């Protein structure tokens, strides 16, 4: 079988990514010493890259599948298939200005304050494209400059025509730029503590981002690669779903069984098994974590001997089968 090339991120996404892979059943070794760690699936070839690079590498077919931030998928504009929201490393991409600018609480305020006075607006960010598109959609910007492109500035090239609003590429420490080197920044925040410590305030949220599993579109058309990619998807989705569930076992008397079943939300249908003592049953099911506290009074009233587990994975296999395989299965079932 051909190997599937799987890019995993270096940096702030790294720890949580390896945790979810290991929880999914993969064993990974050597990641502390090499950018090509070993994995216990002989048909997967891992490579560690920066999250900024992964959408481009996957989109160009250099890698078949990868984990990166949704923010970098949007920033690079890469043509990839987003297979799964992995629901970790949740951040917001925000526009922030100095906290002392009390009259400026939006991008529109910033433009209204600076442009009529002949003062240019400078924005520092790692997200040149997302920031440019966001600024161009602003109604005040459109009123002043119609559809003109903000000037994008890097050490190697300049792009755009509107020098009145310039977006400068930041190589890190973006929060340190205002007010001397920039009037505003666009950066990711998780708690907002870093902005606070640098005397900045977030005035607008541009987008929300999490880690996502992405795939090359041509790789998904290759039958052999697609099967392995869907194996990865199945295992990772199992972890994502498992983190939202509780696996519970309860003992219940026959007289309370039906009432309990009516009030107990189950993943599909609960498993019911008779106990050695006549008139008693064991109920085995998976429920949403969010519903557990709501169900607890009913369980206390009707059941006996509650055991709760945190499942490592919940594999809903029919939800991650390739569409053509689902059609084949449906045809066999109908035959």
Does residue 264 lie in a domain region? yes
Residue 331: its pLDDT value, please? Answer: 44
Residue 95: its pLDDT value, please? Answer: 97
Does residue 326 lie in a domain region? no
On whether both 79 and 114 belong to a single domain, the answer is: no
Closest CA to 214 of 27, 13, 2: 13
On whether both 191 and 225 belong to a single domain, the answer is: no
- Specify the number of domains making up the chain: 3
On whether both 130 and 115 belong to a single domain, the answer is: yes
On whether both 100 and 178 belong to a single domain, the answer is: yes
* Residue 299: pLDDT band with limits 50, 70, 90: confident
Which CATH number do you get for residue 277?
3.30.70.120
On whether both 217 and 83 belong to a single domain, the answer is: yes
What average pLDDT score do residues 192-218 get?
95
What average pLDDT score do residues 6-32 get?
93
On whether both 117 and 57 belong to a single domain, the answer is: no
- Nearest-angstrom CA–CA distance, 14 and 51: 9
Q: Can you say whether the dihedral through the CA atoms of 92, 93, 99, 101 is positive or negative?
A: negative
- Nearest-angstrom CA–CA distance, 137 and 114: 18
On whether both 79 and 97 belong to a single domain, the answer is: no
Length of the chain: 335
Q: 295 with 287: CB under 8 angstroms?
A: yes
Residue 142 above 50 pLDDT? yes
Residue 260: its pLDDT value, please? Answer: 85
Residue 135 above 90 pLDDT? yes
Question: 163-186: per-residue pLDDT in tens?
Answer: 999 999 999 899 999 999 999 999
- Nearest-angstrom CA–CA distance, 8 and 4: 13
* Residue 315: pLDDT band with limits 50, 70, 90: low
- Nearest-angstrom CA–CA distance, 166 and 141: 12
Instruction: Supply the range of the domain harboring residue 12.
Output: 4-89+211-241
Question: 46-86: per-residue pLDDT in tens?
Answer: 999 999 999 999 999 999 999 999 999 999 999 999 999 99
Pairing of strands 184-189, 121-125: parallel
What average pLDDT score do residues 85-99 get?
96
The answer, as to whether pTM is greater than 0.75, is yes
On whether both 218 and 188 belong to a single domain, the answer is: no
On whether both 36 and 142 belong to a single domain, the answer is: no
Residue 335 above 50 pLDDT? no
Q: Which of 226, 241, 256 is the last residue of a domain?
A: 241
What average pLDDT score do residues 200-207 get?
96
On whether both 182 and 220 belong to a single domain, the answer is: no
């Amino acid at each position: 079988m051909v190997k599937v090339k799987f890019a995993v991120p270096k940096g702030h996404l790294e720890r949580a990514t390896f945790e979810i892979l290991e929880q999914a059943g993969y064993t990974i070794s050597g990641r502390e010493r090499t950018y090509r760690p070993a994995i216990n699936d002989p048909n997967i070839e891992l490579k560690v890259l920066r999250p900024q690079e992964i959408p481009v590498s996957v989109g160009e077919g250099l890698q078949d599948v990868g984990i990166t931030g949704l923010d970098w998928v949007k920033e690079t504009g890469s043509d990839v298939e987003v297979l799964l929201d992995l629901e970790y490393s949740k951040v917001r991409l925000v526009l922030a200005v100095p906290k002392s600018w009390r009259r400026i609480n939006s991008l529109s305020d910033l433009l209204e304050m600076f442009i009529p006075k002949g003062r240019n607006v400078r924005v520092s960010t790692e997200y040149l494209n997302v920031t440019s598109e966001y600024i161009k959609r602003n109604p005040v910007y459109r009123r002043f400059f119609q559809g003109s492109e903000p000037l994008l500035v890097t050490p190697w090239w300049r792009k755009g025509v509107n020098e009145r609003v310039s977006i400068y590429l930041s190589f890190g420490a973006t929060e340190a730029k205002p007010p001397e080197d920039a009037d505003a920044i666009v950066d990711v925040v998780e708690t907002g503590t870093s902005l606070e410590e640098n005397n900045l305030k977030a005035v607008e949220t541009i987008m929300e981002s999490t880690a996502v599993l992405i795939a090359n579109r041509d790789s998904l058309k290759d039958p052999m690669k697609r099967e392995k990619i869907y194996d990865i998807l199945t295992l990772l989705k199992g972890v994502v779903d498992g983190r939202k569930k509780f696996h519970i076992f309860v003992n219940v008397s026959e007289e309370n069984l039906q009432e309990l079943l009516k009030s107990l939300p189950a993943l599909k249908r609960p498993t019911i098994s008779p106990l050695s003592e006549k008139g008693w049953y064991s109920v085995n099911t998976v429920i949403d974590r969010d519903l557990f506290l709501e169900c607890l009074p009913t369980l206390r009233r009707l059941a006996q001997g509650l055991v709760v587990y945190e499942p490592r994975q919940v594999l809903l296999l029919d939800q991650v089968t390739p569409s053509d395989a689902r059609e084949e299965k449906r045809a066999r079932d109908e035959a």
